[in-house]
Amino acid sequence: MRTASMTTFSTSTPSILLQNLKMNSSEQPGPWLNSSTLLPVKSSSLGMSCFTMTFGAISNLTALGILAKSRVRFRRPSKSPFLLLTVALLLADLAGHVIPGAFALYLHTDQINQMKAVKPTKVFCQIFGASMVFFGLCPLLLGFAMAVERCVAITWPFFHAAMVTLGHVWRVVLLLSSLAFVLAVLPLFEVGTYTTQFPGTWCFLPIHGPRSTADTNLALAFSCLGLTALTFSLLCNILSGLALLQARKKSHNVNTKSAARCTRRASSTSSTFSRSLNVEMMVQLAVITVVSCVCWSPFLIHILVMQFKQRTSTQEKDGFILLGLRMASWNQILDPWVYILLRKAVLIRVCCATVTENRSFADSHRQAFMLQ
């Protein structure tokens, strides 16, 4: 769930919950529904939810457009797999904004119009919960695949050039998407359940209260898969960064020698372009990994911890899970901006502007010193 336009999840809730609220007997009730009083509905929250969902969708579309324009730079066979995985990630983020976001807006609007907590039907909650799990896991798994692909390309370039093709990457994308899809649809086949979560604007696997063994196993699988993907992404990026630093050090030592200068100059343009592109991709991937860890870790760790706690109370208003959900929702908004802002052209402009500003400051400081 890196995702599911969780940007639209609102914390606004009805002021008074009717005691005789009718619920679908076939759906397990959310634990918060037995509360007698809830916070008043804020219609302004709906406007903010619409804004964040629209902003996230536009951001992902903008990043996709930038990648489409820069595809010429990725025509080299060794760079194309990374481009394909990046496009898949941005498409998953975009769909995660639009599809689950529409479900959340529907629940939010229904609550505001009726001024009471309306229990969604079982079918609606099952589909909503499945989309949350699917679009949450997909970006995390795709980010892990991107980290592994770059690690192999940098540490074993000859193996990567010979074995990693676009066809293999397509199969990896389908495999990871299928894994997330299978986990998401299991409750649709009576293996586990999806329930309405506090404050009634989203559906997910049971987190609090009595849970079945299947519910616990599915929640553990979701959190463990997400945390494993983040951990291995971080490790792969560290290995790739160390390999790039080592290669840069060796290249610097070689360039200091005067032998075979003509031969080296002939291939300097191609090697410099390749190294700069590797560095650009690694910077983007490293920032994506850091953003994912910061945004997703609280939500995933909290779900994992809650599975080992015995909660018998049917009243549970978990403010921390809502905070973690909001943090996770920002991951899909920040991902496209990594590609928008951390491009080579933007970085060069920033560096040039910084150097110019430092030089002007040094010149002014020198002139002031001379006048004294």
- Sorted by where each begins, the domain ranges of the chain are 43-250+275-354
Reported as a pLDDT band with limits 50, 70 and 90, residue 372 is low
CB-based contacts of 369, cutoff 8 Å, min separation 6: none
Identify the weakest region by mean pLDDT among 55-59, 67-71, 185-189.
Answer: 67-71
* DSSP codes of every residue in 290-343: HHHHHHHHHHHHHHHHHTTS----S----HHHHHHHHHHHHHHHHHHHHHHHSS
Using one digit for the tens of pLDDT, what is the confidence trace for 268-285? 444 554 556 677 788 888
Q: Is the pLDDT of residue 25 over 70?
A: no
Angle of the 319-341 helix axis to the 80-114 helix axis, nearest 10: 140
Q: CA–CA separation, 49 vs 5, rounded Å?
A: 10
From the candidate CATH numbers 3.40.250.10, 2.60.120.10, 1.20.1070.10, 1.10.357.10, the one assigned to the domain spanning 43-250+275-354: 1.20.1070.10
* pTM across the whole model: 0.77
Residue 19 CA, chain-centre distance (Å), reads 39
| pLDDT of res. 254 | 61
* DSSP codes of every residue in 141-152: HHHHHHHHHHHH
Token look-up 């397990």 returns 28
Reported as a pLDDT band with limits 50, 70 and 90, residue 370 is low
Amino acid found at 263: T
> What is the arithmetic mean of pLDDT over 144-154?
92
User: DSSP label at 25?
Assistant: T
Residue 199 has φ and ψ, to the nearest 5°, of -100, 30
User: DSSP label at 158?
Assistant: H
CB-based contacts of 225, cutoff 8 Å, min separation 6: 137, 140, 141, 179, 183
CB-based contacts of 217, cutoff 8 Å, min separation 6: 192
**Residue 256 buriedness (CB in 10 A; 0-12 / 13-18 / 19+):** exposed
**Residue 235 buriedness (CB in 10 A; 0-12 / 13-18 / 19+):** middle
Identify the weakest region by mean pLDDT among 9-13, 242-246, 308-312.
Answer: 9-13
Tokens read off for 201: 């604007």
Tokens read off for 87: 């496009």
| pLDDT of res. 304 | 92
Query: What is the residue-averaged pLDDT of the chain?
Result: 76
* DSSP codes of every residue in 84-149: HHHHHHHHHHHHHHHHHHHHHHHHHHHHHHHTS-PPPPHHHHHHHHHHHHHHHHHHHHHHHHHHHH
| pLDDT of res. 56 | 86
Highest mean predicted confidence (pLDDT) among 125-139, 201-215, 308-322: 125-139
Is residue 126 within 8 Å of 36, Cβ to Cβ?
Answer: no
Amino acid found at 108: H
Going by DSSP bridges, is the β-strand pair 195-197/202-204 parallel, antiparallel, or unpaired? antiparallel
Residue 189 CA, chain-centre distance (Å), reads 27
